[in-house]
């Protein structure tokens, strides 16, 4: 087993071990922001800082690689860039938050988390599986994974856009969303991102993609459960049949 494989599988094991602890705590940013986690920074700045490493690290490693990176591999990186340019640049500029803060500690931890994810995927696509052939486009893995990825991307971005639109005439920023998948779950934006990266893992059929999908799951499932609990406490008439993250299931 190579050093890379040891690192990635260890990273996955850390995720499984961390998951029960992540479930116990509400990450203190957004609607769960807490001053008990140390100094606070501007919400938009913190978001950009913590997401930017993923946008930079993974593509940079691939682009400076001395290996003959194939067009299909570059296509995977192109999808990666589209997602993270949206998350680290476009989304923070779109959100309607006034004077909102997040703990500096959370932004810092997320920064290093995204550095690791960027390294895991950048090293894989730039130095290990850099030579996906054109025939991979016709494989079941690519076709199914790409469809799932695009579906998740659309769900994620539509849901975020709907949440942002609800702030237009509401200073508090919080109302009960009712359109689209919000009829069935509290967090379709998280649901979309989870299936998006599941699609990426299938499409690339890679241990790097698997690690990223699992960590996305480990981070967003607890976040969705926290949001769901918050909605029910905040709005007495919140739909009882609505689930947190997976329609009709959880």
Q: What is the pLDDT of residues 111-156, one digit of tens each?
A: 999 999 999 999 999 999 999 999 999 999 999 999 999 999 999 9
Please indicate, yes or no, if residue 72 is contained in any of the structural domains: yes
| Residues facing 42 on adjacent strands | 101
Residue 43 parent element (H or E): helix 43-63
Please indicate, yes or no, if residue 184 is contained in any of the structural domains: yes
Please indicate, yes or no, if residue 88 is contained in any of the structural domains: yes
Q: How far, rounded to the nearest angstrom, does the alpha carbon of residue 232 sit from its chain's CA centroid? A: 24
pLDDT, position 177: 87
Please indicate, yes or no, if residue 181 is contained in any of the structural domains: yes
Please indicate, yes or no, if residue 10 is contained in any of the structural domains: no
Inter-CA distances, 142 with 75, 137, 204, 206, Å: 12, 6, 7, 11
In eight-state DSSP terms, residue 169 is: T
pLDDT, position 198: 98
Please indicate, yes or no, if residue 63 is contained in any of the structural domains: yes
CB 211 within 8 A of CB 244: no
pLDDT, position 49: 87
- Domain extent at residue 26: 15-234
Q: pLDDT confidence of 169, banded at 50, 70, 90?
A: low
Please indicate, yes or no, if residue 244 is contained in any of the structural domains: no
Query: Which of residues 170 and 110 earns the better pLDDT score?
Result: 110
CB 218 within 8 A of CB 15: yes
Mean pLDDT of the chain: 89
pLDDT, position 97: 66
Please indicate, yes or no, if residue 196 is contained in any of the structural domains: yes
CB 190 within 8 A of CB 245: yes
Q: Which of 120, 99, 137, 135 is nearest to 54 (CA)?
A: 120
- When divided into structural domains, the chain yields a total of 1
Q: Count of alpha carbons within 13 Å of 211, Cβ hemisphere only?
A: 24
pLDDT, position 174: 74
pTM, entire model: 0.90
Q: Is the pLDDT of residue 29 over 80?
A: no
């Amino acid at each position: 087993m190579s050093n890379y494989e040891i690192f990635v599988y260890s990273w996955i094991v850390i995720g499984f071990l961390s998951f029960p602890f992540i479930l116990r705590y509400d990450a203190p940013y957004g609607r769960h922001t807490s001053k008990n986690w140390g100094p606070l920074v501007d919400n938009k700045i913190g978001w950009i800082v913590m997401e930017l490493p993923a946008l930079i690290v993974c593509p940079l490693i691939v682009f400076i690689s001395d290996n003959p990176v194939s067009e299909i591999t570059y296509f995977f990186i192109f999808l990666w860039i589209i997602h993270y340019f949206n998350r680290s640049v476009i989304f923070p500029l779109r959100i309607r938050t006034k004077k909102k803060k997040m703990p500096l500690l959370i932004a810092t931890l997320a920064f290093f988390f995204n550095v690791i994810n960027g390294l895991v995927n950048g090293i894989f696509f730039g130095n290990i599986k850099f030579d996906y052939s054109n025939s991979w486009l016709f494989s079941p893995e690519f076709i199914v994974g790409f469809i799932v990825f695009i579906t998740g991307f659309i769900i994620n971005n539509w849901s975020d856009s709907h949440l942002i639109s609800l702030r237009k005439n509401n200073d508090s920023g919080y109302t009960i969303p009712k359109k689209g998948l919000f009829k069935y779950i509290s967090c379709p934006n998280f649901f979309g991102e989870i299936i998006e990266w599941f699609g990426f893992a299938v499409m690339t059929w890679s241990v790097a993609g698997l690690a990223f999908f699992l960590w996305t799951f480990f981070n967003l499932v607890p976040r969705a459960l926290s949001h769901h609990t918050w909605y029910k406490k905040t709005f007495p008439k919140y739909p009882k049949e609505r689930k947190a993250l997976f329609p009709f299931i959880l």
